[in-house]
Structure formats: structure tokens, C-alpha cells
């Protein structure tokens, strides 16, 4: 029996992993603790084999954020994560799994520009959100030793049923726009069902190190919108010739490159010694939209 503590109540990822692991009640005992108001600091970590830290502030419009907002990001994404890791180590937990992000490599490349992440790609934050994740990684990894294994998950955009973020924007567009720009781009993404299996393997194999879990296939934004619409019985016609218009608009707003920019993990970077990709891209979209 492996005992897992998930730090971060109400998390989309945390709840998905919890539901998944509860399919094996004889193998996993799971508890969730909130991180607000110091709830985590009031409990004993000693009984747990692993801590899965999912609490954090997600990516928002950080371009013109006030200093108070920046401070909050570092308090939650960096200081809280490191302090929970320190407590876990001090109280005998053997493994700490940290949810990092592809944001540690900066923003997506603009339309028409390729960006492929490899193991040798240096971390280089383009804003304080990315830097808060990098600083958390560094602080947590300094705690690692032979008795305290640290797992860093540098995940691309995570999506799934009841998820939030950029994927929900695509869902709304898919249901409202029968015509959509046909743009050639590529992005790495991660279905939450595949992530849940990856976390299970990290725990069972007592892993340590940096990992890049992602779907097997890269995604194209235009085709993704078309797939989502089809799940709801709607037809989307992709119209070519809009790339130059979107490039012009991208100089006025960053949302264009968020939707149509490029950022992928190199082929096989996300591979693991055991298969965790239980769903193809098409299957995951159907699971998300059904």
C-alpha cells in the first residue's frame, strides 16, 4: 500500500489523479490537503510515501501585472512549493512530485516560427510566472538526496473534462464558429488521463529526475477546433490564407500567438520506459467532450 498526499485542494489535475488512483484501493491510499491558511503545515507528513504538489497560480495575463501580483506568484508558486518540500523531507517522505510547466522555456514562438524543446534547451523565463516555476524547481531540487527523490514534471498545456485555461477557449470557438482560419502550427499538449497514468508510474517506480510528459502526437490548433466541433455534431470549415492577417494582429495582442504559435517537445522527449499514453489525441478529445 502506497500512501500519497496531494497538496492543493480543488485542483483540476489533483482531482483527476486522485480519481484515477482510487481505482486501485488496495494499492493506493490518498489524502488531499489544502494549502490556504496553512492547513498543510498543521498535519503530519510522516505516514506518506509520496507528496504530489499541485497547488499554484496558473498562467494569466502577466504582461502588465502590478508588483503585488508578482509577489503573490512567487509566494505561491515558489516559496509555498519549496516550504512544503522541506516539510516533506524533514518528516520522512521519500518522494516529492512537483507540477512544473513548459513555461520555464518561455512563451510560444510566433506564427510561422518553429520552437522545439529538447533536453538541452535551457530554461529561460519570459515573465515572472515562468521564473516563479524555475525558482521553485531549483529550490526543490536542492533538497534531493538518496532518501528524498524529487520528480519535476514539465508539462505542456493540460486539458480534459472540467479543465480550465486555453483549451476551454478553443471549445467555445469550436461551438460558435462554423468557419475557422486554417493555420499551420504545432503544439505539444497533455491529456489529463495520460498525466494521471504517468503520475502513477512515477510513484510505483519511485522515480527521480526531470520528465516531459506529453501526448504522443503534436496538435494543430485549426484541426483541434475541427475535432472538438465534430464531437458535438457540428462541422467546421477551415479557411486558408489568414496567416498573414493573424501575424499582423499578433503585434497588437499576445493571444494570437498563444492560440496559433508553435511550441513542441522533440519527438521521444516525452517517452518513458513504460507506456503511459492510454489515449490518442483523437480519443482524448472525445473523452473530454462527451
**What residue spans define the domains of the chain?**
2-165+189-218+264-281
The mean pLDDT of 202-211, rounded to a whole number, is 98
DSSP-derived pairing of the beta strands 149-155 and 157-159: unpaired
User: Rounded to an integer, what distance in angstroms lies between the CA atom of residue 64 and that of residue 62?
Assistant: 6
Q: What's the pLDDT score for residue 253?
A: 61
Q: What percent of the chain has pLDDT over 70?
A: 93
Q: What's the pLDDT score for residue 103?
A: 94
Alpha helices in the chain (DSSP H): 12-21, 67-73, 81-90, 128-141, 166-176, 192-204, 221-231, 243-250, 255-260, 281-289
The mean pLDDT of 112-122, rounded to a whole number, is 95
- Higher pLDDT pick, 245 / 196: 196
Quick check: 260 pLDDT over 70? Answer: yes
Q: What's the pLDDT score for residue 244?
A: 61
User: Rounded to an integer, what distance in angstroms lies between the CA atom of residue 164 and that of residue 98?
Assistant: 20
SS3 state of residue 22: coil
Quick check: 216 pLDDT over 70? Answer: yes
The mean pLDDT of 249-274, rounded to a whole number, is 83
How does the average pLDDT of the chain come out, rounded?
92
Residue 231, burial from CB neighbour count under 10 angstroms (0-12, 13-18, 19+) = middle
**Most confident of the ranges 21-30, 34-43, 255-264:** 21-30
Q: Give, as one character, the DSSP assignment of residue 118.
A: -
For 34-52, the pLDDT digits (tens) are 998 888 999 999 999 999 9
Looking at 220-229, 247-256, 258-267, which range is the least confident one?
Answer: 247-256
Q: Whole-model pTM?
A: 0.94
User: Rounded to an integer, what distance in angstroms lies between the CA atom of residue 264 and that of residue 25?
Assistant: 36
The mean pLDDT of 258-277, rounded to a whole number, is 94
For 125-176, the pLDDT digits (tens) are 989 999 999 999 999 999 999 999 999 999 999 999 988 888 888 899 899 9
Q: Do 177 and 167 form a contact (C-beta atoms < 8 A)?
A: no
User: Rounded to an integer, what distance in angstroms lies between the CA atom of residue 232 and that of residue 21?
Assistant: 30
Q: What percent of the chain has pLDDT over 90?
A: 79
- Cell numbers at 40, concatenated: 498543510
**Topology of domain 2-165+189-218+264-281, CATH:** Rossmann fold (3.40.50)
Amino acid at each position: 500500500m502506497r500512501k500519497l498526499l496531494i497538496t492543493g485542494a480543488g485542483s483540476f489535475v489533483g482531482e483527476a489523479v486522485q480519481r484515477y488512483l482510487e481505482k486501485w484501493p488496495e494499492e493506493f491510499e490518498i489524502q488531499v490537503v489544502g494549502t490556504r491558511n496553512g492547513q498543510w503545515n498543521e498535519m503530519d507528513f510522516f505516514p506518506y510515501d509520496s507528496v504530489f504538489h499541485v497547488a499554484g497560480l496558473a498562467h494569466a495575463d502577466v504582461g502588465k501585472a502590478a508588483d503585488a501580483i508578482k509577489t503573490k506568484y512567487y509566494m505561491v508558486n515558489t516559496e509555498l512549493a519549496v516550504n512544503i518540500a522541506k516539510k516533506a523531507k524533514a518528516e520522512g517522505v521519500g518522494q516529492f512530485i512537483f507540477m512544473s510547466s513548459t513555461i520555464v522555456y518561455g512563451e510560444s514562438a510566433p506564427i510561422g516560427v518553429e520552437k522545439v524543446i529538447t533536453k538541452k534547451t535551457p530554461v529561460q523565463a519570459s515573465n515572472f510566472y515562468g521564473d516563479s516555476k524555475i525558482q521553485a524547481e531549483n529550490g526543490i531540487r536542492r533538497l534531493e538526496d538518496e532518501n528524498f527523490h524529487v520528480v519535476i514534471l514539465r508539462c505542456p498545456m493540460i486539458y480534459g473534462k472540467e479543465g480550465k485555461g486555453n483549451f476551454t477557449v478553443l471549445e467555445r470557438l469550436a461551438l460558435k464558429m462554423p468557419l475557422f482560419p486554417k493555420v499551420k502550427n504545432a503544439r505539444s499538449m497533455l491529456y489529463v488521463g495520460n498525466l494521471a497514468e504517468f503520475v502513477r508510474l512515477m510513484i510505483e517506480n519511485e522515480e527521480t529526475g526531470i520528465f516531459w510528459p506529453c501526448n504522443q502526437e503534436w496538435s494543430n490548433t485549426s484541426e483541434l477546433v475541427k475535432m472538438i466541433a465534430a464531437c458535438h455534431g457540428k462541422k467546421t470549415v477551415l479557411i486558408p490564407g489568414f496567416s498573414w492577417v493573424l501575424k499582423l494582429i499578433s503585434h497588437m495582442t499576445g493571444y494570437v500567438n498563444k492560440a496559433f504559435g508553435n511550441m513542441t517537445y522533440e519527438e521521444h522527449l516525452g517517452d518513458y520506459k513504460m507506456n503511459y499514453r492510454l489515449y490518442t489525441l483523437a480519443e482524448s478529445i472525445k473523452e473530454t467532450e462527451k
